[in-house]
């Protein structure tokens, strides 16, 4: 091999204190990016220095959800990430041509992720969140290789079928020897006019994933929270102003802020 040194990833150095969480889900559309964006915003509001890597090749939704308006800039050999609401954000979507479909192969994703971690000037971060593509693909292995200290956060809906695929995503942690910090159930219920809860997607998925992963991994994987369906949560994502930093009157926001505190 041509003697090219592997780029240095600050977050994987032994003396680095940044907590790294990789947010995973079994399938798309369960709210992984919404959860990631709101956790990041809540942590930043708590005064933590937060960075987010949007590695969801199918989604690229984080910049919009966090209200990022500018592209990254280049200074010498470093990439400066744009900042939105005190959160530094880099997205794989910032480096692709708009509207053009890109077929990402494992090695390309690995290199992109490596670049995001080594060539982006993050400064000192308290927390780095990674929004992974859904599923159990190569990227999980890349994360484990590039960021051996990363802990997984698994997002699922209450639905049994979603829970099953989420378990597989979480069980990857066994092969890669990563810790699973916990499970977040999203879209748990919808509060109706009369105050009752309509369990649109059934119930029990989050607890089930937590229990199964606890059994598989042999260490406690808690259910960190259940986030209800709220129109305002979706609207906050669409308008780039995360609900956790814009209201005190939302159960979803309360739960997400509480999860952010626990991490
Ligand atoms: P993923 O990242 O898993 O593909 P997203 O975070 O993009 O999922 O969420 C999918 C859609 O569902 C988005 O339009 C988002 O705004 C919406 N959504 C996610 N969670 C909730 C929720 N708890 N209540 C209402 N809408 C939600």
27 appears as a binding residue in the annotation: yes
Tell me if 64 CB under 6 Å of ligand 1. no
Confidence of residue 77 (pLDDT cuts 50, 70, 90): confident
Cα–Cα distance measured from residue 239 to residue 211, given in angstroms and rounded to the nearest whole number: 36
Query: What is the per-residue pLDDT across 94-133, written as a single tens digit (0 to 9) for each?
Result: 887 777 766 777 788 888 899 999 999 999 999 999 999 8
Q: Where are the domains of the chain?
A: 20-262
Average pLDDT over residues 46-60: 90
Tell me if 226 CB under 6 Å of ligand 1. no
pLDDT at position 4 is 67
Q: Whose CA is nearest to atom 12 of ligand 1?
A: 31
Look at residue 22 and give its three-state secondary structure. Answer: strand
Under 8 Å CB-to-CB from 3, ≥6 apart: which residues?
none
Residue 168 vs residues 1, 119, 158, 217: alpha-carbon distances, Å:
35, 31, 15, 12
Among 86-90, 109-113, 154-158, 218-222, the minimum mean pLDDT is found in 109-113
Q: Whose CA is nearest to atom 20 of ligand 1?
A: 31
The 8-class DSSP code of residue 77 comes to T
Average pLDDT over residues 230-240: 97
Strands 179-191 and 197-198: antiparallel
28 appears as a binding residue in the annotation: yes
Confidence of residue 74 (pLDDT cuts 50, 70, 90): very high
Tell me if 39 CB under 6 Å of ligand 1. no
Cα–Cα distance measured from residue 262 to residue 197, given in angstroms and rounded to the nearest whole number: 25
Tell me if 186 CB under 6 Å of ligand 1. yes
Give one word for 241, left, alpha or beta, with left for phi > 0 and alpha for psi -120 to 50.
Answer: beta
Confidence of residue 31 (pLDDT cuts 50, 70, 90): very high
Percent of the chain beyond pLDDT 90? 70
Nearest atom, ligand 1, residue 29 CA: 4
| Between 255 and 101, residue with greater pLDDT | 255
Q: Whose CA is nearest to atom 4 of ligand 1?
A: 29
Cα–Cα distance measured from residue 198 to residue 190, given in angstroms and rounded to the nearest whole number: 5
Cα–Cα distance measured from residue 159 to residue 144, given in angstroms and rounded to the nearest whole number: 28
pLDDT at position 124 is 94
Look at residue 73 and give its three-state secondary structure. Answer: strand
The answer to whether 158 and 203 are in contact (CB under 8 A) is: yes
Query: What is the per-residue pLDDT across 186-229, written as a single tens digit (0 to 9) for each?
Result: 999 999 999 999 999 999 999 999 999 999 999 999 999 999 99
* Percent composition of the chain: helix, strand, coil (DSSP 3-state, to 5): 40, 20, 40
Confidence of residue 170 (pLDDT cuts 50, 70, 90): confident
Q: Whose CA is nearest to atom 26 of ligand 1?
A: 234
pLDDT at position 59 is 74
- Is it the case that residue 2 has pLDDT exceeding 60? no
Tell me if 30 CB under 6 Å of ligand 1. yes
pLDDT at position 103 is 73
| Between 244 and 175, residue with greater pLDDT | 244
Tell me if 234 CB under 6 Å of ligand 1. yes
| Between 250 and 99, residue with greater pLDDT | 250
Burial class (CB in 10 A: 0-12, 13-18, 19+), 176: middle
Q: Whose CA is nearest to atom 24 of ligand 1?
A: 229
pLDDT at position 58 is 76
- What's the whole-number average pLDDT of the chain? 92
Tell me if 33 CB under 6 Å of ligand 1. yes
- Is it the case that residue 138 has pLDDT exceeding 90? no
pLDDT at position 1 is 47
20-262: CATH class: alpha beta
């Amino acid at each position: 091999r041509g003697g090219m040194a592997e780029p240095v990833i600050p977050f994987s150095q032994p003396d680095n204190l940044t907590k790294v969480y990789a947010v995973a889900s079994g399938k798309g559309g369960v709210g992984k990016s919404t959860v990631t964006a709101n956790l990041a915003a809540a942590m930043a509001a708590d005064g933590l220095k937060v960075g987010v890597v949007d590695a969801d090749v199918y989604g690229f939704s984080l910049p919009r959800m966090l209200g990022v308006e500018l592209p990254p800039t280049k200074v010498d050999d470093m990439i400066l990430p744009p900042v939105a609401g005190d959160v530094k954000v880099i997205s794989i979507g910032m480096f692709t041509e708009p509207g053009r479909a890109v077929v990402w192969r494992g090695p390309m994703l690995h290199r992109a992720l490596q670049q995001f971690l080594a060539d982006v000037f993050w400064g000192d971060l308290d927390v780095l969140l990674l929004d992974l593509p859904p599923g159990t693909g190569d990227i999980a292995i890349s994360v484990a290789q590039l960021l051996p200290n990363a802990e997984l956060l698994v997002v699922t809906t209450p639905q049994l079928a979603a829970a099953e695929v989420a378990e597989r995503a979480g069980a990857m942690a066994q092969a890669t020897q990563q810790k699973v910090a916990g499970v977040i159930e999203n879209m748990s219920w919808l509060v109706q006019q009369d105050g009752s809860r309509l369990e649109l997607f059934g119930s029990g998925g989050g607890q089930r994933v937590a229990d199964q992963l606890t059994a598989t991994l042999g260490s406690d994987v808690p259910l960190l929270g259940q986030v209800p369906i709220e129109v305002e949560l979706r609207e906050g994502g669409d308008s780039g102003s995360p609900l956790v930093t814009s209201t005190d009157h939302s159960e979803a926001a309360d739960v997400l802020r509480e999860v952010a505190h626990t991490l």
